[in-house]
Amino acid sequence: MMEKDKLRKADIFSGTAIFILGLWIVSQAMQMPMKDSWGGVQNVWFVSPALLPLFVGAMIALLGALLVRTALKSVGFKELGNILGWLAGPELIRFLKTPAIIRFYAMLVLFFSFVFMNIPRVDFFLGAVLFLLVFISMFYFDNDRLMLKLLTFFIAGTLVLIVFFALGLPTTLELSIPYAGDWMTLVFIIGYAVYAWVQIRSDAGLRKKYALMLTLAILSPFLIGSAFKYLLLVPMPKEGLVVLLLDAIRYGGF
């Protein structure tokens, strides 16, 4: 029964988040035109592209609201007051500092940086190597204190890259240093690998994991990416320094 109560309490938060997500989808869909003309022909509202996201968003919001209602019926409004008191107290701060939550932070930072910064701006192979290097090292080493150090180093390096791209330095340096963004990312990769090695070199078990991590992080993108690029002829999301080198090797450019 206690486990079920915990799940119902969690349903209050997840249901609220789902409800808000549904409302956000509806608000974005409302910005789409319900009627429009194309070639002089007026489209009617029931063929609008906004209908599907409106329906999906409304259903998501409804299901979220029903989940909250079910949870409140199970635990009661008094328990909701206790939960809100917990959110306003020091227990929340302690909870947010637990290793499990820090791992969640690490996942968010890693995926957001890979999807929104690296993929649009950095050679795909370099971005993939950096992602795998950080992902494997932070979780495969299975050391919370070490993970926090690696996460801090990664965030610092990512902030440097964000500033580098935000200031438009890759474009400014393009004439003197082609693929400047890729070179910066390569420096970041090497710096991260060296920093991780310094942290684990005194532990024989972690040294073995480090060697495996380095092998997988480097080989996997090149094996899979090269197969897509040169066998299936699928272009990479961003082609830069490494793709230029691989093209030269593949097509005899040396």
Give pLDDT tens digits for 19-31. Answer: 998 899 888 888 7
Domain boundary among 70, 96, 122: 96
pLDDT at 143: 87
Do 120 and 230 sit in the same domain of this protein?
yes
The Cα 83–Cα 85 span in angstroms is 5
Do 76 and 121 sit in the same domain of this protein?
no
Do 86 and 105 sit in the same domain of this protein?
no
Give pLDDT tens digits for 158-187. Answer: 999 999 999 999 888 888 889 999 999 999
Do 138 and 218 sit in the same domain of this protein?
yes
| Surface-to-core class of residue 222, CB atoms within 10 Å of its CB (0-12 exposed, 13-18 middle, 19+ buried) | middle
Do 193 and 208 sit in the same domain of this protein?
yes
Do 76 and 123 sit in the same domain of this protein?
no
Do 236 and 171 sit in the same domain of this protein?
yes
Give pLDDT tens digits for 80-106. Answer: 666 666 566 676 677 667 777 788 888
Q: How many domains, in total, are found in the chain?
A: 2
Domain boundary among 71, 96, 121: 96
**Which among 139, 151, 137 has a CA at the least distance from the CA of 106?**
151
Contact 121, 164 (CB under 8 A): no
pLDDT band at residue 130 using 50, 70 and 90 as cut-offs: very high
Residue with tokens 């919001």: 61
Share of the chain above pLDDT 90, in %: 39
pLDDT band at residue 201 using 50, 70 and 90 as cut-offs: very high
Give pLDDT tens digits for 40-89. Answer: 545 555 556 667 778 888 999 999 899 888 887 877 666 666 666 656 66
Comparison of pLDDT for 84 and 250, the residue scoring more = 250
pLDDT at 37: 52
Residue range 10-18: mean pLDDT, rounded: 80
Residue range 242-249: mean pLDDT, rounded: 90
pLDDT at 86: 59
Q: In whole angstroms, how far apart are CA 176 and each of 168, 172, 173?
A: 14, 9, 6
How is 61-119 classified by DSSP, letter by letter? HHHHHHHHHHHHHHHHHHHHHHHHHHHHSHHHHHHHTSHHHHHHHHHHHHHHHIIIIIH
Give pLDDT tens digits for 209-230. Answer: 999 999 999 999 999 999 988 8
pLDDT at 128: 94
Domain boundary among 34, 65, 96: 96
Q: Output the CA torsion sign for 222, 223, 227, 230.
A: positive
Comparison of pLDDT for 78 and 200, the residue scoring more = 200
The residues pairing with 37 across neighbouring beta strands, listed in sequence order, are 42
Range of the domain at 7: 2-96
pLDDT at 2: 44
The Cα 139–Cα 186 span in angstroms is 22
Do 136 and 244 sit in the same domain of this protein?
yes
The Cα 243–Cα 239 span in angstroms is 6
Q: How much is the pTM?
A: 0.71
pLDDT at 1: 42
